Amino acid sequence: MCKTILPNVVQANDENETYIDNNNLQECDSSTDFNLYDILDRSERMKIFNRKVNIEKRKQEVEIKERYVEIEKRDIGFNERDIAIKERDIAIKERDIAIKERDIVIEKYGIAIEKHDAAIKERDIAIKERDITIEKHDIAINERDLMKLENKKLLKYIKTTLTSQHDVSIQLNPPITYPFLITRFDGACYYGVALTCFKQFNNDDGTCSESSFATAIISLNCLIEKL
């Protein structure tokens, strides 16, 4: 081990700038370069030292650049994170829109089902109304047929009574399906009044002549045939 004289490195105002103070040389221990420094003169040693200083400066510059690169990488990472957050928010909005569209489709489907059910109910009501109309028509036909049958039986009974008995008064007991009334005016014949189909067969004094009696029988026969 020997003592080697090295120049003093002074830091300038600029943190990236250094210079050699040749007036203040320092002693340092060197176990590897003592042979080299022993054979080199002062100027050569200064050149080697300056190269080492430049290398250190470049290392510092590279470290600074690396630090800036790391900062830029960090900023890029932040930007990528922000972009990922925005993409996530967009995906959430798209999902919400898809859910709303699905709900709208479901509501439209429900409305369509309700309209279909309402149409079915309207159709069923129309069918029931049609059936009721048919039933009313059938009832009206049955009532008409029954009225014809009752009136035919009634007129046949009246005809038989008028031709066989001249002294019997007939009063039909209401209600009857056909408006008809027979009353006796005298002991010789009957006076027939059909409120809708008959003419009045009577004399001015309210009696019924023999010819009117025969005409009434003929009219009864015609009415029976019509029924």
pLDDT digits (tens, 9 = 90+) for 99-118: 999 999 999 999 999 999 99
Q: What is the 3-state secondary structure (H, E, C) of 15-59?
A: CCCEEEEEEEEEEEEECCCHHHHHHCCHHHHHHHHHHHHHHHHHH
Q: What is the pTM of this model?
A: 0.38
Interval 27-41: pLDDT, tens: 444 444 455 666 777
Distance CA 190, CA 194 (A): 13
Residue 44 lies in a domain: yes
Please, which pLDDT band fits residue 92 given cuts at 50, 70 and 90? very high
| Domain final residue, candidates 57, 72, 87 | 72
For position 37, what pLDDT does the model report?
62
**pLDDT above 70 for 193:** no
Identify whether the C-beta of residue 154 lies closer than 8 Å to the C-beta of residue 198.
no
| Domain final residue, candidates 72, 104, 133 | 72
Region 206-218 average pLDDT: 46
Q: What is the 3-state secondary structure (H, E, C) of 160-224?
A: HHHHHCCCCCCCCCCCCCCCEEEEECCCCCEEEEECCCCCCCCCCCCCCCHHHHHHHHHHHHHHH
Region 181-193 average pLDDT: 38
Q: How many CA atoms lie within 13 A of 87 on its CB side?
A: 6
The token pair that represents 116 in the structure block? 């279909």
Residue 90 lies in a domain: no
**pLDDT above 90 for 134:** yes
CA 150 and chain centroid, separation: 61
Distance CA 189, CA 161 (A): 11
For position 159, what pLDDT does the model report?
63
Domain region containing 183: 147-226
Interval 139-165: pLDDT, tens: 999 988 888 787 677 667 666 665 554
| Domain final residue, candidates 56, 72, 88 | 72
Distance CA 47, CA 26 (A): 16
